[in-house]
Amino acid sequence: MKLYNLKAGMNPRRVRIFMAEKGLHCETVDIDMEAGENRRPEFLAKNPLGTLPVLELDDGTIIAESMAICRYLEELHPEPALLGRTALERAQVEMWNRRMELEILVPTTSVFLHTHPFWDGRITQYGDYGQSCRDHLLKRFTWLDGEIAGRDFIAGSSYSVADITVQCALIVAKACKLPVPPELGNLTAWFARVSSRPTARA
Ligand SMILES: N[C@@H](CCC(=O)N[C@@H](CS)C(=O)NCC(=O)O)C(=O)O
């Protein structure tokens, strides 16, 4: 098994943390996006979208979506459970992870693409759109701060992939000068809690 990785990428980090939580290791191939390696024919043959992470199995099978990779690994290595144990827990983790992707991770990606200097000259940046995504994301931070009041983790009392999704998004938001406002006490405390896990720097 081989993981094609982007060291600073939000989605590859989700998979790296997921694997670290399970104590899994595999060969990792770092792709240099700045050098355009993910747009070269060799990589596009694996994933024509040119995105990372990509997991390549020993028989050459490709899994090229973060959550699909996580689900595959959870099936093979159920402990510790990061996608829920019971039917209800699985539904709750699914609900929260989906919400965290749509409400936090996707707007964070838009803020990154349309406001961060890294993309200047690489893509057409729409500044007004980037600003509206920042405003939207701040509202979502406030919403999430209220939702997690009184609980330790995003989907309930156990750390799950929903936490991983948000912690990876917040690292990128911070790099875009959009940290969690300190007055959002629940989200600030949660971020400190998950960032102190030994796997947070995976
Ligand atoms: N839905 C995909 C998104 C993957 C994605 O957009 N990855 C980014 C890094 S975080 C990427 O590879 N960007 C390179 C590019 O778009 O050229 C997943 O989670 O696997």
Residue 200 identity (one-letter amino acid): A
> Over pLDDT 90: what percentage of the chain?
100
- Calpha distance 111→125 (Å, rounded): 10
- Rounded mean pLDDT of 73-97? 98
- Rounded mean pLDDT of 69-90? 98
Q: Which of 31, 51, 102 has most ligand 1 atoms within 8 Å of its beta carbon, as the pocket-test mutant? A: 51
Is the shortest distance between the CB of 169 and ligand 1 below 6 Å? no
CATH fold for domain 2-76: Glutaredoxin (3.40.30)
Determine the distance from the C-alpha atom of residue 138 to the mean position of all C-alpha atoms in its chain, rounded to a whole number.
18
Q: Residue 33 has what pLDDT?
A: 94
Alpha helices for the chain (secondary structure H): 10-22, 41-44, 66-76, 87-100, 106-115, 127-147, 161-175, 185-195
Output the residue whose Cα is nearest ligand 1's atom 14. 51
pTM: 0.97
CB atoms within 10 A of CB 106: 14
- Rounded mean pLDDT of 161-190? 98
Q: Which of 11, 13, 33 has most ligand 1 atoms within 8 Å of its beta carbon, as the pocket-test mutant? A: 11
CATH 1.20.1050.10 maps onto the chain at 87-195
Q: What is the CATH number of domain 87-195?
A: 1.20.1050.10
**Cis preceding-peptide flag for 198 (omega within 30 of 0):** no
Distance 68 CA to ligand 1 centre (A): 13
Q: Residue 80 has what pLDDT?
A: 98
Is the shortest distance between the CB of 66 and ligand 1 below 6 Å? yes
Is the shortest distance between the CB of 65 and ligand 1 below 6 Å? yes
Inter-residue long-range contacts of 61-70, CB under 8 Å, 24+ positions, other chains counted: 66/11, 66/12, 66/14, 66/15, 67/97, 67/101, 67/161, 69/15, 69/18, 70/14, 70/15, 70/18, 70/161
Is the shortest distance between the CB of 37 and ligand 1 below 6 Å? no
Do 131 and 147 contact (CB within 8 A), yes or no?
Answer: no
User: Which atom of ligand 1 has the smallest separation from the CA of 53?
Assistant: 20
CATH 3.40.30.10 maps onto the chain at 2-76
